[in-house]
Chains A and B, each alone.
Chain A
Amino acid sequence: MQFKTASSPHIPQQNSVQGLMFKVLLAMVPGTIAMIVFFGWGVLINIILASVVALSAEALMLWIRKRPIKPYITDGSAILTACLLVLALPQLAPWWLTVIGTLFAIIVAKHLYGGLGFNPFNPAMVGYIVVIISFPKEMTQWVPPLLEGYTQLTFTETLSIIFGGDLPLAYTWDAITMATPLDTVKTQLGLELSINEIENHKEYGGIFGSVGGFGWEWVNGLFLATGCYLAVKGIIDWRIPAGLIAALLVLSNTFALYDYASFTPPTFHLFSGGIMLAAFFIATDPVTAATTTKGRWLYGAGIGVFIFIIRTWGAYPDGIAFAVILMNMAAPLLDYYTMPRAFGHSWTEFPHHHKTDDDDE
Chain B
Amino acid sequence: MTRSSRQLWHFHGGLKLESNKAISTQSPIVKARLPKRLILPVQQHIGEAGALLVKKGDKVLKGQAITQSTEYVSAPVHASSSGTVIDIDEYPAPHPSGLNTLCVVIETDGEDKWTELQPTHYINTKSPAELRQLIRKAGIVGLGGAAFPTAVKVNPGPQAHIETLIINGAECEPYISCDDMLMREYATELISGCGIIQYMVSATHCLITVEDNKPEAIKAIQAVINEQALHTIEVVSIPTIYPTGGEKQLIKVLTQKEVPSDGFPSDIGLLVQNVGTAVAVHKAIVLGEPLISRIVTVTGEGVKQPQNMEVLIGTSMSELIEQSGGYHDDACKLIMGGPMMGFTLQTDHLPVIKGCNCLLVENTPEETPATMPCIRCGACASVCPAQLLPQQLFWMASSKNFELVQDYHLFDCIECGCCAQVCPSQIPLVQYYRFAKTEIWSQERDRIKSDHARVRHDFRQARLELEKKERAEKLRKKKELLEKKKIAEAAAKNDTPETEIDPKKAAIEAAMKRVQDKKAAKQNNNTSSDE
A352-B415 Cα distance, complex, nearest whole Å: 21
Taking CB atoms, residues of chain A closer than 8 Å to B376 are 117, 286-287, 289, 291
12 of the cross-chain contacts (CB-CB < 8 Å) are: A4-B333, A5-B346, A7-B428, A9-B341, A9-B421, A11-B174, A13-B426, A15-B423, A17-B372, A286-B377, A344-B263, A345-B260
Q: Within the complex, what minimum Cβ distance (angstroms) separates A293 from chain B?
A: 8
Taking CB atoms, residues of chain B closer than 8 Å to A292 are 378, 381, 389
CB–CB B372/A71 < 8 A: yes
Taking CB atoms, residues of chain A closer than 8 Å to B98 are 5
CB–CB B343/A8 < 8 A: yes
Please name the residue on chain B nearest to A236 by beta carbon: B377
Q: Within the complex, what minimum Cβ distance (angstroms) separates B265 from chain A?
A: 11
**Per-position contact with A for B56-82: 1 when CB-CB < 8 Å, else 0?**
000000000000000000000000000
Stretch at the interface among B153-161, B164-172, B224-232, B406-414: B406-414
Q: Within the complex, what minimum Cβ distance (angstroms) separates A142 from chain B?
A: 32
CB–CB B391/A8 < 8 A: no
A149 at the interface (CB under 8 A from B): no
Taking CB atoms, residues of chain A closer than 8 Å to B11 are 343
**Per-position contact with B for A26-48: 1 when CB-CB < 8 Å, else 0?**
00000000000000000000000
Please name the residue on chain A nearest to B379 by beta carbon: A15
A19 at the interface (CB under 8 A from B): yes
A354-B404 Cα distance, complex, nearest whole Å: 8
CB–CB B424/A17 < 8 A: yes
Taking CB atoms, residues of chain A closer than 8 Å to B362 are 10
Please name the residue on chain A nearest to B403 by beta carbon: A354
B497 at the interface (CB under 8 A from A): no
A136 at the interface (CB under 8 A from B): no
Please name the residue on chain B nearest to A239 by beta carbon: B378
Residue in B333, B373, B409, B422 whose CB lies within 8 Å of A115: B373
A352-B403 Cα distance, complex, nearest whole Å: 12
Beta-carbon contacts under 8 Å, A227-248 to B? 234, 237
A190 at the interface (CB under 8 A from B): no
B353 at the interface (CB under 8 A from A): no
B366 at the interface (CB under 8 A from A): yes
CB–CB B431/A343 < 8 A: no
Residue in B259, B382, B420 whose CB lies within 8 Å of A9: B420
A255 at the interface (CB under 8 A from B): no
Please name the residue on chain B nearest to A358 by beta carbon: B403
Taking CB atoms, residues of chain A closer than 8 Å to B490 are none
A68-B369 Cα distance, complex, nearest whole Å: 13
Q: A3-B347, A5-B346 are in contact. List 13 more A-B contacts (CB 8 A).
A: A4-B366, A6-B344, A9-B430, A11-B174, A12-B364, A16-B426, A20-B424, A291-B376, A291-B392, A292-B389, A335-B392, A342-B409, A345-B261
CB–CB A71/B430 < 8 A: no
Beta-carbon contacts under 8 Å, A302-361 to B? 335, 339-345, 352-355
Q: Which B residues have a C-beta under 8 Å from some C-beta of A?
A: 11-12, 17-18, 98, 174, 248, 252, 258-261, 263, 318, 327, 331-335, 339-348, 360, 362, 364, 366-367, 369-370, 372-379, 381-382, 385-389, 391-392, 403, 406-409, 412, 415, 417, 420-426, 428, 430-431
CB–CB B417/A8 < 8 A: yes
Residue in A8, A10, A287, A355 whose CB lies within 8 Å of B375: A287
Given known A340-B389, A342-B261, contact A116–B372 (CB-CB < 8 A): yes
Q: Within the complex, what minimum Cβ distance (angstroms) separates B462 from chain A?
A: 19
A167-B412 Cα distance, complex, nearest whole Å: 66
A118 at the interface (CB under 8 A from B): yes
Please name the residue on chain B nearest to A354 by beta carbon: B407
Q: Within the complex, what minimum Cβ distance (angstroms) separates A22 from chain B?
A: 11
Residue in A4, A71, A291, A340 whose CB lies within 8 Å of B344: A4
A138 at the interface (CB under 8 A from B): no
Residue of A11, A72, A340, A345 contacting most chain B CB atoms (<10 Å): A11
Residue in A293, A344, A355 whose CB lies within 8 Å of B412: A344
CB–CB A286/B347 < 8 A: no
A326-B367 Cα distance, complex, nearest whole Å: 41
A340-B380 Cα distance, complex, nearest whole Å: 13
A161-B238 Cα distance, complex, nearest whole Å: 66
A156 at the interface (CB under 8 A from B): no
CB–CB A75/B260 < 8 A: no
CB–CB A11/B421 < 8 A: yes
A172 at the interface (CB under 8 A from B): no
CB–CB A1/B425 < 8 A: no
Taking CB atoms, residues of chain B closer than 8 Å to A335 are 389, 392
Residue of B343, B422, B424 contacting most chain A CB atoms (<10 Å): B424
A2 at the interface (CB under 8 A from B): yes
CB–CB A20/B377 < 8 A: yes
Residue in B17, B261, B422 whose CB lies within 8 Å of A344: B261
Rank and list the top 9 A-B pairs by shortest CB-CB distance, nearest first: A117-B373, A9-B417, A344-B261, A71-B370, A15-B424, A286-B377, A7-B431, A5-B344, A342-B409
CB–CB B372/A352 < 8 A: no
CB–CB B261/A291 < 8 A: no
A212-B18 Cα distance, complex, nearest whole Å: 47
CB–CB B364/A291 < 8 A: no
Q: Within the complex, what minimum Cβ distance (angstroms) separates B380 from chain A?
A: 9
A291-B389 Cα distance, complex, nearest whole Å: 9
CB–CB B373/A118 < 8 A: yes
Given known A7-B430, A11-B421, A292-B381, contact A340–B375 (CB-CB < 8 A): no
Q: Within the complex, what minimum Cβ distance (angstroms) separates B403 from chain A?
A: 8
Taking CB atoms, residues of chain B closer than 8 Å to A15 are 379, 422-424
Taking CB atoms, residues of chain B closer than 8 Å to A16 are 369, 372, 424-426
Taking CB atoms, residues of chain A closer than 8 Å to B369 are 16
A10-B386 Cα distance, complex, nearest whole Å: 21
CB–CB B333/A291 < 8 A: no
Residue in A3, A75, A117, A341 whose CB lies within 8 Å of B332: A3
A17-B372 Cα distance, complex, nearest whole Å: 8
A344-B252 Cα distance, complex, nearest whole Å: 10
CB–CB A291/B412 < 8 A: no
Residue in A2, A19, A342 whose CB lies within 8 Å of B387: A342
Taking CB atoms, residues of chain A closer than 8 Å to B386 are 342-344
Taking CB atoms, residues of chain B closer than 8 Å to A17 are 372, 375, 424-425
